Amino acid sequence: MEIKRRIKVLVVDDSAMVRKTITDTLSLDPEIEVVGVANDPLIAKEKVARLQPDVMTLDMEMPRMDGLTYLRQLQSERSVVAVVVISSITQKGSQLALEAMDAGACEVLAKPDGSTSVGTLAAKLTFHVKAAHAAKQRFRHSPKAAATPAVSFGKTNQDGVQARPGDRRLVVVGASTGGVEALRALLPALPAGLPPILVVQHIPAFFSKAVAERINALAEYEVREAVDNELILPGQCLIAPGNYHLMVVAHSGGYRTRLTQSPPVHHCRPAVDLLFRSAAAAARRHCLGVLLTGMGSDGALGMQAIREAGGINLTEHEDSCVIYGMPRAAVQLGVVDKTVTLDRMPQTILDTLSSLPA
């Protein structure tokens, strides 16, 4: 039997404690091998050339060269190393993390500090390292995907889609690895005046606000973080805050939000399944579920609940997914009505909304 090669990881951070924490955590997984550490990007450059890691964990603020500058250099060199950014969860750190994703980072995690424990990081780290490795492998071996990094959307037909008084239609969207870029392409391509859209993206605390603000600047309608117990209105998109589950509850003929910090689901908080299940219970046959790129199976059981309640489910096609994990799990469960590539998703959402009972 062929022995699977372990994922080689280089840990880059100027904090000795963080380097040890990451190394110790990753070394517990038999599928991962930490091949080296570096306390700044200049040392990392030499070790990348010598050790040929598959994945690098990268701090943003370091001496001699910051992580963002180094990441941009890696991108210009067409490096095959997948990068997981581990950033402080301050607002400044969130902006840097967003720029890091623009520069090619696969994942962003919160750096352990007074408010984010080492244990919280450890629970997610191996999952995200594997996801980053899988994403890089996909684009390395898929000329089609590598050749078309930008998504082009045609003009959408909006007939019969605009929300009207008493409209019960609701759109719920879930995504993980690659989802930030997918959402930044998809949401601005949708017109204003639609039924409300709720989004769960696997994301660290505070980073979700920066993502929402970036998308809001591009969209024709309001996009922002959700707050607890607010009325969900047509013509807006609410994104789950990092570290909070987002759910929907029926209220006086409409819907309200519910945010909780109940235990993670699928190692994630927020979790797509909790949003989808609550939307199925509240909106029933008025619900449209959309599942985008991501590793794992979060969202599949939620889509099953939407299907059983009479709603409709769409998933992103493998051809445009960074990671075809979450959509695949829903397809394999037999609860998906239609699968389309990301460039066709805006019009498919509108077409599906026009067929849902208001």
Active site residue 267: no
Which amino acid makes up residue 216?
N
List all residues 6 or more positions away from 17 whose beta carbon is below 8 Å from its beta carbon. none
β-bridge partners, 245:
260
Alpha-carbon distance 70 to 310, whole Å? 49
Closest CA to 296 of 100, 147, 131: 131
Instruction: Please provide residue 250's backbone torsions phi and psi, each rounded to the nearest 5 degrees.
Output: -70, 140
Give the containing element (helix H, strand E) for 338.
strand 338-340
3-class secondary structure, 268: strand
**Residue 348: CB atoms within 10 Å:** 17
**Structure-token pair, residue 347:** 């019009």
Q: Which of 40, 54, 273, 298 is catalytic?
A: 298
Are the C-beta atoms of residues 294 and 185 closer than 8 Å to each other? no
List all residues 6 or more positions away from 344 whose beta carbon is below 8 Å from its beta carbon. none
Q: Which of 88, 94, 176, 208 is catalytic?
A: 176
Alpha-carbon distance 58 to 96, whole Å? 12
Active site residue 286: no
Active site residue 76: no
Alpha-carbon distance 59 to 67, whole Å? 6
Which amino acid makes up residue 109?
L
Q: Which of 40, 87, 88, 202 is catalytic?
A: 202
**Do β-strands 245-251 and 312-316 pair in parallel, antiparallel, or remain unpaired?**
unpaired
Cα separation values, 191 from 162, 165, 240, 325, 347, Å:
9, 18, 21, 28, 10
Cα separation values, 235 from 160, 161, 194, 223, Å:
15, 11, 5, 9
By annotation, the residues acting in catalysis are 176, 202, 298
